[in-house]
Structure 1
Amino acid sequence: MVYYKTEEEINIIREAALILSKAHGEVASLIKEGVTTKQLDSRAEEFIKDHGGWPSFKGYNGFPFSLCISVNSAVVHGMPGDYVIKNGDIVSIDGGVFKNGFHSDCAYTHGVGELSEDVKRLLTVTKQSLYKGLEKAVAGNRLGDMSATIQQEVEKEGFSVVRELVGHGIGRNLHEAPEVPNYGKRGQGIKLQNGLVIAVEPMVNLGSKNIVQEADGWTIRTRDNKPSAHFEHTIVVRKDKAEILTSFEYIEKGA
């Protein structure tokens, strides 16, 4: 069942999204060589709770942390810990905020220090594919129009889209219908309507699209151990242009 949100509900999600966006900015200001991923997680949790929210991921299906932090070849669902960030790493920060009965969800992949040209391009293309896809997130289009656009943007640059992991509807539950793949065919899938709130999140690999799950039961890694990038926004489908509820502004203003 796909739930379309009222304007009142969208306003509540917008508030949760603002807290999440600012939490991302707090974390971004700490990402540098010598910092552990656990330190980043602690700051995010503190900030979210201080602003009246709850970290959506904490306790979700038993996940013990507030953020998923996925470094280098980890695609998603990386567990914060004692890993010390190094020069040349890429660090994906994925988080959610629950407030007043509704969730928001957002991810951003950060480069640390000197990156190879291929990895720089991976980050640029993944982020661009998100925004290109969102251009299609308007009422009257099909879900496949957005999915196909993301896939085309990625593959024309020689990168690959992860198939098994997808975006999703979001609202009272962190994951709702519909699934939002980052690949597909134009003209297919449900017709997009005003008030559909979804999390769109391209996960793009430098090498092969194939992934494996690590022994911790959470971390998803590229099978060829090449880097992967992940960018995500919570958005509302609108008549003329998607409304992006989360923001990268607080991350990038300090960059």
Structure 2
Amino acid sequence: MFSNRGLEIKTPAQIDKMRIAGLLVGETLELLRASARPGVTTGELDAIAETNIRDHGGIPSFKGYSQPPFPATICASVNDEVVHGIPGDRTLRDGDIISIDCGAIVDGWHGDAAITVAIGEIAPEVTELLRVTEEALWQGMVAARLGGRVSDISHAVERHVRGQGSYGILEDYTGHGIGSEMHMAPNVPNVGKPGRGATLVEGLALAVEPMVTLGTKETDLLDDEWTVTTADGSMAAHFEHTFTLTTAGPWVLTAIDGGAARLAELGVSFGGR
């Protein structure tokens, strides 16, 4: 491993270790997707996640992270909570949405991903919000090319969201580099002009995570010093994957199939092994 302009560039063997952590995150999120339903508390989802991660030899990335120390294994952000919601006794109800962000460390390497899940029947415009946000994530990843720049991803995310309607895209919170630490250089914004920022090279791993609202981009930070909410009370969605680039194409380390099926739908070669 060596640093290039402050970036952590991984060897193929180290990327393979990140894939193990990424798979654990992806499998945990699928377990949580199946468990998230009316009557379940966010604290119960957190317990499911921690048990699954630890039972499979992982360590929750978020628990104890930063200051004040994050107190849980997952971020559980409901409705107008965009990111970093703290799990607890809140009960999910029909019509809610919950954004679940999950990170795990295996053998010193990190995986990080997020999904937004509908609880029961949700409003059509909220269903559309989820679709647009998840599609923007994939559009960002498929815009990445070896030799390209980080802001190529940012531009693709923004272009897709703007083309779908009037949505707010968070600018104060971004994606990030990832590897031996959860948050590393470079930042990966969700807006911007292409052709800027760090060069995309083999061995660089990035977490791309669009955060999109039905209202404006403005947010508030709650007194718990973690939970970020929309300033206008509008619903928000958050999707995230950790991915890398090989000479063959993108490899989505936190997707169960490495992203193969979705990349094929988008006409992009799968870069995994």
Task: Report the TM-score when normalising by structure 2.
Answer: 0.89
Moved more, 188-197 or 88-97: 188-197
Equivalent residues of 1:45, 1:66 under 8 A apart: yes
- The one-letter code matched in structure 2 to 1:203 is M
Whole-angstrom CA distance in 2 between matches of 1:248 and 1:182 = 24
| Cα shift at 1:76 | 0.2
Whole-angstrom CA distance in 1 between matches of 2:169 and 2:249 = 25
Say yes or no: does 1:116 pair with 2:123.
Answer: yes
User: Cα–Cα, structure 1 residues 199 and 11, in superposed 2: closer, same or farther, change >3 Å?
Assistant: same
| Cα shift at 1:199 | 0.5
Partner of 2:179: 171
Partner of 1:253: none
Say yes or no: does 1:46 pair with 2:51.
Answer: yes
Whole-angstrom CA distance in 2 between matches of 1:17 and 1:192 = 20
| Cα shift at 1:160 | 1.7
| Cα shift at 1:222 | 0.4
Whole-angstrom CA distance in 2 between matches of 1:244 and 1:159 = 26
Deviation sequence 1:185-222 (CA, Å, 0-9, x none): 01111221111101000011111010110111100000
Question: How is 1:85-104 mapped onto 2 (pairs within 5 angstroms)?
Answer: 85-104=92-111
Paired residues, what number?
A: 250
SS in 2 for 1:91: strand
Identical residues among aligned pairs (%): 42
SS in 2 for 1:29: helix
Residue of structure 1 aligned with 2:39, choices 27, 34, 42: 34
- The one-letter code matched in structure 2 to 1:177 is A
Equivalent residues of 1:58, 1:65 under 8 A apart: yes
User: Cα–Cα, structure 1 residues 135 and 12, in superposed 2: closer, same or farther, change >3 Å?
Assistant: same
Task: Report the TM-score when normalising by structure 1.
Answer: 0.96
Question: How is 1:4-83 mapped onto 2 (pairs within 5 angstroms)?
Answer: 4-61=9-66, 62-83=69-90
Whole-angstrom CA distance in 1 between matches of 2:59 and 2:239 = 21
Question: How is 1:65-214 mapped onto 2 (pairs within 5 angstroms)?
Answer: 65-157=72-164, 158-214=166-222
- The one-letter code matched in structure 1 to 2:237 is A
Equivalent residues of 1:138, 1:239 under 8 A apart: no
Whole-angstrom CA distance in 2 between matches of 1:85 and 1:144 = 36
- The one-letter code matched in structure 2 to 1:141 is G
Whole-angstrom CA distance in 2 between matches of 1:44 and 1:228 = 22
Whole-angstrom CA distance in 1 between matches of 2:176 and 2:153 = 13
- The one-letter code matched in structure 1 to 2:129 is L
Partner of 1:223: 231
Moved more, 33-42 or 238-247: 238-247
Whole-angstrom CA distance in 2 between matches of 1:167 and 1:2 = 14
| Cα shift at 1:99 | 0.9
Ranges in structure 1 where 5+ consecutive residues have no aligned partner: 250-255
- CA-based RMSD: 1.2
Report which structure shows greater RCO (CA 8 Å, sep ≥6): 1
Partner of 1:247: 255
Equivalent residues of 2:23, 2:256 under 8 A apart: no
SS in 1 for 2:9: coil
Whole-angstrom CA distance in 1 between matches of 2:247 and 2:56 = 32
Whole-angstrom CA distance in 1 between matches of 2:75 and 2:123 = 24
Ranges in structure 2 where 5+ consecutive residues have no aligned partner: 1-5, 258-273
